[in-house]
Amino acid sequence: MKATISVVIVSFFLCAGNVVAQSVEADKEIAVVEVGAATSQSLTGGGSSFGPDFAVEVTPVENWLELEAGVTPLFGAHSTEWDVDLLFKKPWTLSKKVEFMAGIGPEWVHTRQYGVTTNSVAGEAIGDFMFWPSVGKHRFGWYLEPSYDYTFGRGHEQSIGISGGLLISIR
């Protein structure tokens, strides 16, 4: 029993040393959270809608690939639509305070309109402008993201939209 307790105590101190050593490089960005609002206008006669926007973005390949997973519930006059997307984005740094990303990806669209519920797969293309007010560490900023959606379901709905809001860098 004493041997087990000794091993646990020694392991704790060894792990604690590693945690302290890692905190020096812990300033690296883990993810960026986007919280804002979105609006969409149908190009095929479906009307307009508005709602909140939430996404999380990670960078698997620095300066080359960013992945963004998001959800946007949109509310119109006689409809509710939930869009869930996964975007593959290429980033460009325009200045120390401005980034631009172009992206495409699949989208799942769940719509309830006039009591009829439909689910369909769509494709989405976006341009993502990110603005960081402070030059040093990017902690908080804001974004503006115009988009184009094409639904592969019945009716082949097409829409344009824009979302914008707050960026929160998670470190």
**Chain segment 65-98, per-residue pLDDT in tens:** 999 999 999 999 888 999 999 999 999 999 999 9
Q: Which two tokens stand for residue 48?
A: 């307009």
Instruction: Give the span between the Cα atoms of 91 and 99, in whole angstroms.
Output: 7
CA–CA distances in Å: residue 143 to residues 5, 17, 40, 138, 163: 52, 39, 17, 13, 8
Tens digits of per-residue pLDDT, 92-144? 999 999 999 999 999 999 999 888 999 999 999 999 999 999 876 778 999 99
Q: Where are the domains of the chain?
A: 28-170
Fold type of domain 28-170: Porin (2.40.160)
The predicted model scores a pTM of 0.79
